[in-house]
Each structure stands twice: as structure tokens, then as C-alpha cells.
Amino acid sequence: MVKKIAAIHDISCFGRCSMQVIWPVLSHFGHQVCPLPTALLSTHTGGFEGFSFLDLSDEMEKITTHWRKLNLEFDAIYSGFLGSEKQIEIVRRFIKDFSDEKTLVLVDPVMGDNGEIYRTYTKRMCDGIKLLCESADIITPNLTETYMLLGKPYGGWPDADEQKFLLDELLKIGKKEMRAVIITGVRNEMQNTIGAVYAIKDDKNNINYGNYFAPYCDSFFPGCGDLFSSIILGKILNRYGIYESVKTAVQFISKVSINTKRLGTPSIYGVEFEEMIGKL
């Protein structure tokens, strides 16, 4: 049976990120994407100037009210970029109302990258994102977001001991027993690779750690976090484990990044994944 995913993300009309990435990837894995859009932008915020921005908070409430009347149920809830501080409570209430013990909740705590907060975000919004993580089964922060969630200054590339410390601290967030934490965009400069590190908590509260790395592409492409989290969710809903899901995501993003650079596509446009999606 096709699984339904409530995807709580923005729609950026140009540039491969958010719904432009999420919808095709999750559809490729055989899942139905039910968008709950948080904002409408002319482009993403990762380098374009003069973009338009429409906060959809009021529309989100209308959509969720209708969905409640329809008694809709979802196999997964997947949240990402939010359009305003008000949406923190909207999303928290949505998770409470539309999830049960069988619903997988993945929170991509979108706040910033490369040590900087995104332009449409505020400190109060970032504080609220941490509250969303309390309801998550899985979170997928990048390094910048990891340090922000833990209230620590951005520390650059962590060594193995620091990676384990960060993972342990992230697992402590929230009242709900988090199943997994995956930190994305971790560099291994000695081997010129990039990938992800993760920690998984089992039913007996034992923690297993792992990582996966692939060749590094020395260009920055917006939207790779959305691509990563979508692959993770798509694979897990198809009964793959965390390691296999992380491996697939890291390998795929490495390949499409290198290929996009080879093609000469402006990095601001995002990675050209469309022709390679069949390899997932």
C-alpha cells in the first residue's frame, strides 16, 4: 500500500530545494506526498537576491482544519523550512493531532548552513525549532544546525570524539524517545570526503554509531539537505535501515554534485538530480 507523507515545507519556485526536491524523490520511492506548504518564495534564499516571500501560516491552519474534518492519517510527518515563528506551534499541534505510535516523524531542523542563520529566520524561530525536535523520531541537522540546537558556537569540522559527543547530546533533546540522529555535511579533510555521522538508539537504550563518506565536491549546492533527508525518509519507509539509507543518500548526493559541477550548472540552481533519480 502506498504510504502517505505530510510534507511541511516551503515552495521555492526556482532553485532545486524544498518541495522541488522532496516531491519527486519521495514519489520515486513509491510514496504519496501531501504538501502542507509553509511559505511561497520566488527562489530559495541561498544566494538569490530580491526574492519574494509569502508566509502561508494562515493557509496552513485552514488546510489542517480541513484535514482534521476528513480524518486523514499519515504514515510519516516530515517538516523542514518554516515561514514564521507562528508556524512552530502550528507544526507542533499538527504532529500531536496527526501522529500515533505508528507514525514516523522526521524533523529536518532547517535554520542555517556554513555557520550562518538563514535570512528569513530569527533567534526565536530557532529556539522553536528545538521544540519541534522534541516530537521527532529522527532529526537530520547539518553541522551549523547541530551547534545551534545545542546552544554552542559553530565549531567547524569536528573530530571523531566531538562527533560522538554531539550525537549523544542531540539524542537527549526532547521528551520523546528519539530513534536516530543523523548529522549531515560532515567533512573528512584528510581523505577529501564528505558524508554523515549518525547514532541509533534501540529498544533497550543501547546506542549504535556509524558513518558513511563519499568523494567531496568543492562546490556548495543549496538543497542538498532536503535531498538527503528525503532519501532517508523514502528508504526507511521502504523498510531499509539507517546505515543503508545514509549510504544511499551520501553516495547519490556525491555523484550528482560532481556531475552538476562537471556540467557547469550554476551552483545556485542546485544539483541536477533529475536524470539520475533512477539510480536511487
What is the per-residue pLDDT for 45?
85
What is the per-residue pLDDT for 273?
96
Ranges under pLDDT 50 in the chain: none
Tell me the Cα Rg of the chain: 17
* Domain assignment of residue 29, given as a range: 4-279
What is the per-residue pLDDT for 264?
94
Q: Please give the Cα distance from 13 to 43 (Å, whole number).
A: 5
Q: Please give the Cα distance from 223 to 270 (Å, whole number).
A: 6
Nearest to 196 by CA among 216, 182, 180, 178: 182
Task: Give the CATH number of the domain where residue 50 resides.
Answer: 3.40.1190.20
Residues belonging to the chain: 280
Question: How high is the mean pLDDT of the chain?
Answer: 94
Q: Please give the Cα distance from 167 to 197 (Å, whole number).
A: 8
What is the per-residue pLDDT for 199?
96
Contact between 211 and 182 under an 8 Å Cβ cutoff? The reply is no
DSSP of 176-219: S---EEEEEEEEETTTTEEEEEEEEE-TT--EEEEEEEEE--SS
State the total domains in the chain.
Answer: 1
pLDDT, tens digit (0-9, with 9 covering 90-100), for 161-198 = 999 999 999 999 866 667 899 999 999 988 999 999 99
